[in-house]
Amino acid sequence: MENKYRQYLLDTCLSVIFWVPVIGIWSIVVAKLEYSELLSIMAGTAAINISVGGFYGKLLNKWRETLKYEHQ
């Protein structure tokens, strides 16, 4: 059970680490948001990733198992 919890936590953390900067850069470069708006968007992105990031990782793992995808 501990391994599943650690994997879920790892998926969540990696999702936050990847997506928050990506959305932040997109918000600056493409959307031209001001910094107060940027902070709001990044906080919202982090909250969404914390709430569903681990579930998304589990979904990806199931999808890979279904397609028999092997990392080379």
Render each residue's pLDDT in the chain as its tens digit; 72 residues.
578 788 888 888 888 999 999 999 999 999 999 999 999 999 999 999 888 877 887 888 888 889 887 766
Q: Would you state the pLDDT for residue 71?
A: 67
Q: Would you state the pLDDT for residue 22?
A: 94
Query: What is the b/e burial string over 18-38, where b = at least 16 CB atoms within 10 angstroms of the residue's CB?
Result: ebbeebbeebeeeeebeeeeb
Element of type H or E holding 72: none
Element of type H or E holding 44: helix 35-67
Q: Would you state the pLDDT for residue 1?
A: 56
Q: Would you state the pLDDT for residue 65?
A: 86
Give the chain's length: 72
Q: Quote the pTM value.
A: 0.70
Find out whether 27 and 41 touch, Cβ atoms under 8 Å.
yes
User: Rounded to a whole number, what is the distance in angstroms from the first to the last CA of the chain?
Assistant: 28
